[in-house]
Every structure is written in C-alpha cells, then in structure tokens.
Amino acid sequence: DAKTTQPNSMESNEEEPVHLPCNHSTISGTDYIHWYRQLPSQGPEYVIHGLTSNVNNRMASLAIAEDRKSSTLILHRATLRDAAVYYCILRYSGGSNYKLTFGKGTLLTVNP
Amino acid sequence: GAVVSQHPSRVICKSGTSVKIECRSLDFQATTMFWYRQFPKQSLMLMATSNEGSKATYEQGVEKDKFLINHASLTLSTLTVTSAHPEDSSFYICSAQTGRLGETQYFGPGTRLLVL
C-alpha cells in the first residue's frame, strides 16, 4: 500500500475549524483516500473517503489536491468529542484486496 | 449506518488458556472481516483477513496456529487466542465490509485482553 504522512499531533479550539493534512505523494490512480478516527479505547470510526473530487458528509469535508498527492480533512466546527487520532489511509480499489494499512495518524486535541 | 459488535469487551485470563473473541455484523452481511491488534500507544496492525466460508489469510509474522480465525457465516467471525501468554495482552479489533455498502470498513468497539 502507498504510504501517507501526517503530523503527529495538532491542537484546536472548540467551535473552530480544523484542517488535518495528509501527504501521499506516491498515490496511484486506483487508490482511494480514506479517513478514519479513533477515540480512546474504541475501534476506529469511518469519517470520509474520496478519489479525486472533494467530498462532504455530515461529519467532515475532504479536500483533495488536483495532483492527488495530498489531501486535507476539514472539521468545520471542532467539538470536544472530536478529540481523537485521525488516520489518513490509501486503499487500493482494484481486485478483492481491500485491507487497510494504518499509520501513526494525527492526535487531535481540542481545547475548550 | 452499519454496526459491528464484539464480545466480550474485555477479558482477563490465565496464561496458557484459550480465549475466544466474537465479531458480529448486526445489520449487514459481511463477506470479508478483518482482525487487528493494537498495543498501547501504537497504531492498529492487521493480523488476518477472513472471507466467509474460506480459510483466513494471515499477515506476515502472525502465527495462524496461535490465532485461530473462523468465519462460518456472513455475520460472525471468531478469533481464538490459543495458549495465551502475557505478551498476547492487547486490544483486538475486528472490522467488516460488504461490497454493497461500498469500500468502507466498519469497525467493532474492540476487545481488551489481559493475560496474567
């Protein structure tokens, strides 16, 4: 699986937007960009995914660079419940192999 | 959304005993389930991939005779840690996916195993 690079940690204030960056310079044309987050002592939770176009859902927005070598997860208004480790993962979309390879992720701290 | 459950949520056992962890997809059929392990302060490590009705595929370095995986139905997969030792103490997490819901994996809440 292609590798992603994320900052180890980020800090935000409650009710402010948060932009979590992810670099994936070796992404291939068939790789989807997935974001998951993990709250303490819980399993990961799916956040959003995309291929080329920007994506929005009720949780977040995903902005994908035109060359697809980077992406940004946007939380529009951070809450204390958004404090978690956020993982940016590239997932090969071809064949039957859909396994995910987790990196270290970004630990997001949200200050009240 | 799709819900995945795990049972038990935490278990304490003596060294040398076997422990079974269940993973269930509650509202969808999962053709593929995955088992991960996570040690404190570390990321998730994939242990194996299981497809319903066939043998699991283990990642390199994972002992298949120690970590027995059974995926007998489209809603249930089990992981049995045989002859558990203290170094097997970890957070075990399963996930499930179905092509009908796209390429998303849905994760269970995890099982905390402590081997004394």
Residue B11 CA to residue A28 CA, distance in Å, equals 41
Cβ within 8 Å, pair B106-A46: yes
- What pLDDT sits at residue B103? 64
pLDDT digits (tens, 9 = 90+) for B10-54: 999 999 999 999 999 998 888 889 999 999 999 999 999 998 888
Chain B residues with CB within 8 Å of chain A CB = 4, 6, 32, 34, 36, 43-46, 49, 91, 93-95, 97, 103-110, 112
A14 touches A78 (CB < 8 A): yes
Residues of A in contact with B110 (CB under 8 A): 41-43
Q: How far is A44 from chain B, CA to nearest CA, in Å? A: 6
- What pLDDT sits at residue B101? 46
Task: Report how far apart, in Å, the C-alpha atoms of A61 and of each of A28, A55, A57, A90, B112 are.
Answer: 22, 6, 6, 17, 32
- What pLDDT sits at residue B110? 97
pLDDT digits (tens, 9 = 90+) for B49-104: 998 888 899 999 999 999 999 988 989 999 999 999 999 999 999 999 876 545 67
Nearest chain B residue to A32 by CA distance is B103
Between residues B99 and A31, the one the model is more confident about:
A31
- For A13-78, give the DSSP string: ETTS-EEEEEE-TT--TTEEEEEEEE-TTS--EEEEEESSS-EE-SS-EEEE-TTSSEEEEEESS-
Furthest CA-CA distance within chain B: 42
B23 touches B77 (CB < 8 A): yes
- What pLDDT sits at residue A1? 55
Task: Report how far apart, in Å, the C-alpha atoms of A64 and of each of A7, A21, A89, B73 are.
Answer: 17, 10, 13, 38
Of all residues in chain A, what percent carry a pLDDT higher than 90?
82
pLDDT digits (tens, 9 = 90+) for A44-89: 999 999 999 999 999 999 999 999 999 999 999 999 999 999 999 9
Cβ within 8 Å, pair B43-A46: no
Long-range contacts (CB closer than 8 Å, 24 or more residues apart) made by A57-61: A60/A35
Nearest chain A residue to B59 by CA distance is A99
Buried b (16+ CB within 10 A) or exposed e, B82-113: eebeeebbbbbbbbbbbeeeeebbbbbebbeb
- Could you say which of B46, B107, B112 has the minimum Cβ distance to residue A45? B107
Whether A4 shows a pLDDT value over 80: the answer reads: yes
- What pLDDT sits at residue A29? 85
- What pLDDT sits at residue B104? 79
Average pLDDT, whole number, for chain B?
92
Cβ within 8 Å, pair B105-A100: yes
